[in-house]
Amino acid sequence: MSEVIATDLENTDLPELVGGLNRYLRLRATPVGMKLFATEEEMMAIPRLRRPKAIHATDQIVGQACRNGWTVGITADDLVGAQCSTVIGLHPRSPEWLSGDRMAGVWYADRENAGAHQEAMDVVPFGTYQAMAVSPLASGRLNPPDICLIYATPAQMILFINGLQWTGYKKLEWGCVGESACADSWGRALATGEPSLSIPCFAERRYGGVMEDELLMALPPRFLPKILAGLEALSRNGLRYPIAPYGVNNDVRAGMGVSYG
């Protein structure tokens, strides 16, 4: 689990936290929670749960929560194939999946490169979970979720990260597998408990509705009180969103003196 100092979610008001993030970052996309379940029956107990009537990619399921405001639950049978279900632990890393055959010659030059991509992906270990649900974080229906998903522009995201680093500083490092970037975000966050940033991939943008200027941060919700406290402190120091352009031709000393002391 993460070495970054995090805050327990007990007695935390999730709608209040989401309101704080929107106040300081003006997020366009709805913050979403994701939760894994040992059984489908356990997932079905979620209030106002929707079940898919068609076959989807996990990107679409997340998009339905983030863009439509729905609470949606799925099993592996609802997903288009093993690429999606393996990331969230609903399918094993089988020899066929590891081969990368479906991506060879499409996303990668050959089977060797495609297989190396599959090996590099962060996924939830198979065998514990049978279902997954997503829901707007402020709804509280996942009580609490395993992770939350925050879509933001690069300017919003760096301030979000600055808030995380305000106390208990740690250099944050991530990877990029390229296509299947859900492994960099929700796959890694679910598997490690670490804040996990990704550049959403082609599939997330084509099928999940992710905007071309959005990044995705996936992290356990226990980090949110810490981040919000950091954003409040940064705002008091004049470091807030939107970041007003200073001008490329102006004498920089006056602005630097305010922002950097």
- Residue 20: pLDDT over 70: yes
Cβ neighbour number for residue 259 with a 10 Å cutoff: 10
> Checking phi first, is residue 2 left (phi over 0); if not, alpha (psi -120 to 50) or beta?
beta
Q: Per-residue confidence at 6, pLDDT binned at 50, 70, 90?
A: very low
The sign one gets for the Cα dihedral 47, 226, 150, 259 is positive
* Mean pLDDT score, 167-178: 97
> How does pLDDT run across 90-122, given as a tens digit for each residue?
999 999 999 999 999 999 999 999 999 999 999
Q: Which pLDDT does position 104 carry in this prediction?
A: 97
Nearest to 131 by CA among 208, 49, 70: 49
List the strands of the sheet with 147-152, edge to edge: 72-74, 131-136, 32-37, 147-152, 215-219, 196-198
**Who contacts 38 (Cβ-Cβ below 8 Å, separation ≥6)?**
128, 129, 130
pLDDT at 261: 76
- State mean pLDDT over 38-63: 98
pTM higher than the cut 0.85: yes
Q: What does the pLDDT read at residue 108? A: 98
Question: What confidence tens digit (pLDDT) does each residue in 195-229 have?
Answer: 999 999 999 999 999 999 999 999 999 999 999 99
What distances in angstroms separate CA 158 from CA 16, 134, 172, one per listed residue?
Answer: 21, 25, 12
Report CA-CA distances (Å) from 227 to 20, 52, 148, 173, 235.
10, 34, 13, 17, 12
Nearest one of 187, 72, 37, 50 to 124, comparing CA atoms: 187
- Mean pLDDT confidence for 128-147: 97
pLDDT recorded at residue 7: 45
Residue 100: burial class (beta carbons within 10 Å; 0-12, 13-18, 19+): buried
Q: How far is CA 129 from the centre of its chain?
A: 19
Residue 3 is predicted with a pLDDT of 34
